[in-house]
Structure 1
Amino acid sequence: AIKKAIELEPTDWRHWNVLGVIACSKLDHKPSLAQHCFIKSIQCEAKNVIAWTNLGTLYFNKGDIQLAHEAFRVAQSVDPTYLACWIGQALIAEAVGHEEAMDLFRHTTELGFHPESALGYGQWVLSVLGDSHKRDSEYFHYCIHQMAAVPSASDALTRYTGRIRTNPVAYNMQGLLFEHQNLLQSSVVALQKALFLLEQNDPGKTINDVRLNLARVFCKQGKYEDSVRQFELCDLGSSVEYMCIYGLALFHNNKLMDSFKVYQHVLELLGDNPRVSQVYTALGMVAYKLGDMEGAKTQLFEGFQTDQPSPKGLLALCALGLIQHDLTLASAVFEELSKQEDKEKYIKDILLLQTYKFIIEGDTVKAEANLKKEVQEYPSNSSLWSLLAVLILTQDQGRGAAVVEYASSALSLVGSGARQMESILQILGQLMAGHHHRHDKDKNALKTAQKVFHSNPGCKSTLISLACAVHAEAVIKRALTGEEGLFTVENGYLDISLKYGKLNDDLENWCLQQLIVNHIEERNISSVQASLTLLLNKNKLSPEIEEFVKSITMFLSPEMNETALSDTPHKLQILIICAWL
């Protein structure tokens, strides 16, 4: 039919082009005829981007790279927006190992969608991400960060898998790109689809790689049982990286002895590798969880004595020394940490441990002086300002204004997405300093707490901080005007926190105590007794809570007189210090 069309209209380039495409097919593979047809099509219409691109593709498949490049170049000059000729140039660059291959594939995804460009760009992005030698280079910064490579490649592969649902390689790459964006559930879905397709067809060696990827993502998700199950189906071989992740999954799945054995095997595989210190750190972690303090110290000390001790291992050894009040060991570790090249990366952890050491020694003045010295050296590090605020908050509750000042300094340095801790510190400082609405109409504890809660309404810490601020305002308003409506508002916040907050034991106990105080302020004795019963039903009460319960019981006693009341410890004051989760 095409030949008859050419006889009738020999000058129509489309007929020649179709015949050339047919000659390229597997059913009628005639490369010479195809070349002749594409050239005739170009002769009929010189500005023929389709024929030039098809001719370039033919040359590329035959291995004639130079002629293919020339044909694609002409096609680009005829129509710079034609996607297929750019894909051809990208494939040529990839074949000859040219560094512009990734940029060319990226450009094809910007021009439009094509299956080949989506796969090509995704593969290039993942290859660059997987090359650890390039991560600190300008090339990496440009290709990955500046060009937003990961989301772009991810979007391209999402369109690909939306049309072609039978390619396990595409799903695997999509899962890896989702993982890099921390979209872990989407990553799991994509990797499970890849695994399903491989199980239905010939799995080969690829299925092991997909299982390892899925196991790693499960571990990141915190689904350690699923992670262990996938690892047990894999051939780990001598992969140190995956063995370490397997050991971590076993650790979190409470299979501590199995985890210890895995890390010991990794130790044997590494030999004299500089990374051996990190494995000693992991072994120390497992030993500590097993309750073997001396074993943990031994493992961490072994890492300490290697040529390149792990900073995290040093921090763990120092913390263990402080727990056991071995200040000589802690001092030796601090000296080693001061020699680390990346000391600034761990400065907050180092200073936190140093602060604990000074507190153990009973010298909070020196702890504050040490923090202030480091803040002057690293004034742009917001975490140090926050740490200074926390120290004063916990050790000197009469200096609320200083807490506000340091928390405000930290807030000025952090980005908009990481302000929660600093904001709560500011609220607590304002409560301690007595910054209520009469002190400052705009900058007071309640206004700050409301802003923080509105910025993150799903966070239990912000809700409880708001309850603190409401309580303070409620007491002040009742004293000034007799209004008691804010106590009801506070009850609502505390009830929500207790019912939906999934609080830890300390914070749940705090909420119950605050609820009891609030009911007493309202003179609602029946509710006090109900909340007190809930508190007493807790399995274990700290001495402080027992003293609180004793005070409330005495308060509720009908035999209580004024003398007994005056002797009761003042446990009904405004509770403003909230334990963080």
Structure 2
Amino acid sequence: LANCFDFIAALPKSKAVLTIPGSLANESDEFVTLCGDKLFELASRFYCRAIKLSSSDLSLWYELSLNYYNRSLKYGTTETRKKYLELAAETSKHIIKEAPHKWKYWNLLGVICTTKDVQNLSLAQHCFIKALELDRKLAIVWTNLGVLYLSQGKIMLANTAFKQAQQSEPSFANAWTGQAQVAEILKPAETIDLLQHSITLSYNDESAIQYAYWVCMLLSDTKNQKRAQYYVEHLNAISSAIDSITWYCNANETNISSEALSFLGYLNYNQRNWCIATRTFQAASQQIEQSSNRDKMLCNLAYSLLKDNRPIEAVQAFENVTEATFRS
């Protein structure tokens, strides 16, 4: 039952809603509707109850630690995030003491230690290496180690770790996304191909927004139109990028960056989806604080409004531009 609550709580916030019997939540009402963080909280209570019934079952402790970690990322405030992560770390350390031969426990503690609120990178590296000593063919651990090296600017070590992840499990999309991050620094021309492969394997936030960015860059590069044409005609780059960035915006519905919105708007504008482009540029222009960037977005909005046959609103958008340019 705790797993069910965890699963629902991890969905996008508008969908993280569940109606349950009130007795499960110690409420007097026959049924109650719980959202997001309340579901995480109830799940942790159920894990604790299960642990009381079977304290030697370390998989329950593992689930509880994972619950605290996911809760800190999704619903933790500045005050509570550190508390949840400390609970997650302590729980992970407990199960590692009891079963140091389980790689999953080492990996989870390593991931917890990489968060900004804990930031114990030396312990994180130790945990990932200990996990790999137990099993050298763990794509997820190699990828986590690669991300750790990448965050520290150790590009070649990151590159090696991602390659090991790909060899261990060629279908693991995160490894290809990590390799694309390395390619951005070492071989930018290969980045879009790596991301293309990653998004065909499965969805993740990083590859979705990165791929959309690179497709937008490709379309706006007037010097390499033949290359852009190849990706558009043979690899359906625009459609794939729209799918990816739409998924990203849906998954991060309450925390969408203006950059992600601008990518979505630009790609839909390119496909003549004027209505969607207009709505997206409007949302992006309201988020941007820097006046020069907001002016560019307002111009994009105005062009889109013109295409959507809304000239009066287009004029208003142009008039909202702070600093007039030849283009505006």
Residue 157 (1) aligns with residue 245 (2): yes
Given candidates 155, 158, 170, the residue that maps to 2:260 is 170
Counterpart contact for 1:49–1:75, Cα < 8 Å: yes
Which residue of 1 is the match for residue 199 of structure 2? 109
Amino acid at match of 1:106: Q
Amino acid at match of 1:159: W
Deviation at 1:207, TM superposition (A): 2.0
Secondary structure of the corresponding residue to residue 191 of structure 1: helix
Residue 224 (1) aligns with residue 314 (2): no
Structure 1 residues 221-262: Cα deviation after superposition (integer angstroms, max 9, x where no partner): 232211111111114544x4x24xxxxxxxxxxxxxxxxxxx
Given candidates 140, 144, 152, the residue that maps to 2:228 is 140
For residues 210 and 98 of structure 1, the distance between their equivalents in structure 2, rounded to whole angstroms, comes to 26
For residues 291 and 131 of structure 2, the distance between their equivalents in structure 1, rounded to whole angstroms, comes to 44
Structure 2: 5+ residue stretches without partners: 1-90
Given candidates 54, 59, 76, the residue that maps to 2:166 is 76
Which residue of 1 is the match for residue 44 of structure 2? none
Amino acid at match of 1:233: N
Deviation at 1:109, TM superposition (A): 1.3
Amino acid at match of 1:207: R
Which residue of 2 is the match for residue 190 of structure 1? 280
Counterpart contact for 2:292–2:323, Cα < 8 Å: no
Amino acid at match of 2:178: G
Secondary structure of the corresponding residue to residue 11 of structure 1: coil
Which residue of 1 is the match for residue 149 of structure 2? 59
Residue 210 (1) aligns with residue 300 (2): no
Deviation at 1:141, TM superposition (A): 2.3
Amino acid at match of 2:315: V
Amino acid at match of 1:162: N
Which residue of 1 is the match for residue 140 of structure 2? 50
Amino acid at match of 1:121: Y
Deviation at 1:97, TM superposition (A): 4.3
Deviation at 1:29, TM superposition (A): 0.9
Deviation at 1:212, TM superposition (A): 1.2
For residues 88 and 203 of structure 1, the distance between their equivalents in structure 2, rounded to whole angstroms, comes to 30
For residues 2 and 134 of structure 1, the distance between their equivalents in structure 2, rounded to whole angstroms, comes to 51
For residues 252 and 314 of structure 2, the distance between their equivalents in structure 1, rounded to whole angstroms, comes to 28
Which residue of 2 is the match for residue 181 of structure 1? 271
Amino acid at match of 1:27: D
For residues 30 and 229 of structure 1, the distance between their equivalents in structure 2, rounded to whole angstroms, comes to 51
Deviation at 1:123, TM superposition (A): 0.4
For residues 175 and 140 of structure 2, the distance between their equivalents in structure 1, rounded to whole angstroms, comes to 8
Structure 1 residues 466-501: Cα deviation after superposition (integer angstroms, max 9, x where no partner): xxxxxxxxxxxxxxxxxxxxxxxxxxxxxxxxxxxx
Which residue of 2 is the match for residue 367 of structure 1? none
Deviation at 1:209, TM superposition (A): 2.1
Residue 93 (1) aligns with residue 183 (2): yes
Which residue of 2 is the match for residue 12 of structure 1? 102
Deviation at 1:46, TM superposition (A): 1.3
For residues 324 and 292 of structure 2, the distance between their equivalents in structure 1, rounded to whole angstroms, comes to 13
Structure 1: 5+ residue stretches without partners: 244-581
For residues 141 and 236 of structure 1, the distance between their equivalents in structure 2, rounded to whole angstroms, comes to 35
Whose Rg is larger? Answer: 1
Deviation at 1:143, TM superposition (A): 2.1
Query: Against the structure 1 CA distance between its residues 204 and 84, is the aligned structure 2 distance closer, same or farther, given a 3 Å change threshold?
Result: farther
For residues 170 and 123 of structure 1, the distance between their equivalents in structure 2, rounded to whole angstroms, comes to 8
Which residue of 2 is the match for residue 131 of structure 1? 221
Deviation at 1:98, TM superposition (A): 2.3
For residues 104 and 16 of structure 1, the distance between their equivalents in structure 2, rounded to whole angstroms, comes to 29
Residue 29 (1) aligns with residue 116 (2): no
Higher relative contact order (CA 8 A, sep 6+): 2
Q: How many pairs are equivalent?
A: 236
Give the aligned CA root-mean-square deviation in angstroms. Answer: 1.6
Counterpart contact for 1:125–1:144, Cα < 8 Å: no
For residues 173 and 98 of structure 1, the distance between their equivalents in structure 2, rounded to whole angstroms, comes to 19
Secondary structure of the corresponding residue to residue 188 of structure 2: coil
Aligned residues: percent identity? 33
